Amino acid sequence: MSTRVRNILVGLAGLLLLAVLLYQIPYVNSRLSWRIEKFFIYTRNVIDPIGPVPTALPVTVQPATATFTATSTPVVELTPSITPTATLPPLPPQASIASPPFEKQTPNNCGPAVLSMALHIYGWEGSQADIASFIKPVLQDRNVNPEELRYYVRTQAGWLNLEYRVGGSLDTLKRLIAANYPVIIESVTSLDPNDALGPNDDLWAAHYLLLTAYDDAAQEFTIQDSYHGADLKISYAKLLEDWHAFNNMYMVIYFPQYEEEVKTLLASNWDPGLNRQIALDASQAATVETPSDAYAWFNLGSNLVYFDRYEEATIAYDKARELGLPLRMFRYQFGPFLAYFHSNRNEDLLVLTKYALGVTDMSEEGWLWYGYALYRSGDNAGARKAWEKAASINPNFFEDQANQALQLVP
């Protein structure tokens, strides 16, 4: 080997070593790791495209709790509707809360970033990094559930409380803002094409938004969007459209001493059971009014899961899958996993969790339920690996659930 070639090889080895060392620096790692991961995911999906959400497998016997029309559209029989509470006072035509300092989210971090901005309104002095380190310590964890955000507030900012409900309306959002309570919602966003998982990516994703003002004359809310910017405007119609996919979920933060006021503002929706029954009625009505709306069927399934009505929920989820769902749906919502598991439809659970993990490998919820599907299939070794993976992704919030599952296998 010539001296020149040897020097080149030594130089390349030195550069490689330097790159490895630089990659260990937390700041550099946080900036590069997700880009490297994204490159490999995109390449994999060019070779083996993800494809659409799989439709349900054939079911031999339908549950007795559901009936069908001549067109095989499921009609789930519900309990009687809840009578609403007394009408609240009229709302002002506009209201606003002083915007908090804007916080641009780091990758996959809209939940912690938006919660951080909301907490700053109440005098909190941390940042999204503090929240993320507690509820999503692994950078590649792409989802934070409302339960995790609530858990953070209650355990790490215990002088505040957070509640979330579903089936929200524009009036509910406006009433809270008018009473000086900022509101967080989960809605749909369209990703930058540079963030595509592959050439067939629909670029659909969930996104948390902080609402700080509304204006009836302009028919719009003011939002703090950690991805797109501060004090942006969104029309009432657009917000309703984007909110619908997440069962119109909303969160409100408040000082515990003002809980009675929050109860009054939420009325029947303060009680979680009544809130879900109201949402259940609304989602059922939506499937009748617009039977081609996949999100209406999905919301119906999720509301049925809340009441442990799993077999009925699977029929609603089956219909949603038949109509077509975005490929990232199971990165954020996991009701179908519970419904198929508790209805003993293990093949559907296995297919759906494998699909979800093909889209989002770093999903503790996906690995947990994939493990249960493997366990039911008799693959104890595979189930153990899946549950250990779930615990490793989110040890602070998910380890107990994974460890409970691990007790099932030797």
Q: What is the mean pLDDT of the segment spanning 356-368?
A: 93
Identify whether residues 22 and 143 lie together within a single domain: no
Q: Which residues pair with 74 in a beta bridge?
A: 68
Answer whether residue 71 is part of any domain.
no
- Is residue 337 over pLDDT 70? yes
- Residue 240's nearest CA partner among 226, 227, 250 is 250
**What was the pLDDT predicted at 80?**
42
Identify whether residues 98 and 33 lie together within a single domain: no
Identify whether residues 206 and 116 lie together within a single domain: yes
Identify whether residues 169 and 108 lie together within a single domain: yes
Structure confidence by residue, pLDDT tens digits, 91-128: 999 999 999 999 999 988 999 999 999 999 999 999 99
- Is residue 71 over pLDDT 50? no
Q: Which domain holds residue 16?
A: 8-46
Q: What is the mean pLDDT of the segment spanning 271-289?
A: 97
- Is residue 293 over pLDDT 70? yes
Q: What is the mean pLDDT of the segment spanning 147-174?
A: 96
Confidence (pTM) = 0.86
Return the minimum-mean-pLDDT range out of 55-59, 301-305, 337-341, 394-398. 394-398
Answer whether residue 23 is part of any domain.
yes
Answer whether residue 335 is part of any domain.
no
Mean pLDDT of all residues belonging to the chain = 87
Q: List the CATH number of the domain containing 152.
A: 3.90.70.10
Return the structure tokens found at 11: 């130089």
Q: What is the mean pLDDT of the segment spanning 199-207?
A: 90
Identify whether residues 41 and 115 lie together within a single domain: no
Q: What is the mean pLDDT of the segment spanning 86-90?
A: 78
Looking at the structure of the chain, the number of domains it has is 2
Split at pLDDT 50, 70, 90, the class of 265 is very high
β-bridge pairing 161-165 and 229-235: unpaired
Answer whether residue 166 is part of any domain.
yes
Identify whether residues 102 and 213 lie together within a single domain: yes
Q: What is the mean pLDDT of the segment spanning 40-68?
A: 65
Split at pLDDT 50, 70, 90, the class of 61 is very low
Query: Who has greater pLDDT, 322 or 34?
Result: 322
Q: Which residues pair with 215 in a beta bridge?
A: 94, 220
Answer whether residue 276 is part of any domain.
no
395 Cβ contact list (under 8 Å, min separation 6): 137
Identify whether residues 37 and 149 lie together within a single domain: no
Query: Who has greater pLDDT, 143 or 191?
Result: 143
Q: Which of 216, 240, 270 is the last residue of a domain?
A: 270
Q: Which of 255, 270, 285 is the last residue of a domain?
A: 270
Interior CA angle at 64 toward 287 and 273, to 5°? Answer: 55
% of the chain residues with pLDDT over 70: 81
- The H or E element containing residue 113 is helix 110-121
Question: How many Å apart are CA 337 and CA 342, to the nearest integer?
Answer: 9
Answer whether residue 169 is part of any domain.
yes
Identify whether residues 98 and 16 lie together within a single domain: no
Identify whether residues 245 and 132 lie together within a single domain: yes
**What was the pLDDT predicted at 69?**
38
Answer whether residue 249 is part of any domain.
yes
Split at pLDDT 50, 70, 90, the class of 86 is low
**What was the pLDDT predicted at 59?**
73
Q: Which residue has the tokens 């009578």?
A: 83
- Is residue 144 over pLDDT 60? yes
Q: Which of 216, 238, 270 is the last residue of a domain?
A: 270
Q: Which residues pair with 272 in a beta bridge?
A: none
**What was the pLDDT predicted at 142?**
83
Answer whether residue 240 is part of any domain.
yes
Identify whether residues 32 and 117 lie together within a single domain: no
Identify whether residues 123 and 23 lie together within a single domain: no
Identify whether residues 116 and 40 lie together within a single domain: no
**What was the pLDDT predicted at 341?**
98
- Is residue 308 over pLDDT 70? yes
Split at pLDDT 50, 70, 90, the class of 316 is very high
**What was the pLDDT predicted at 20?**
46
**What was the pLDDT predicted at 40?**
52
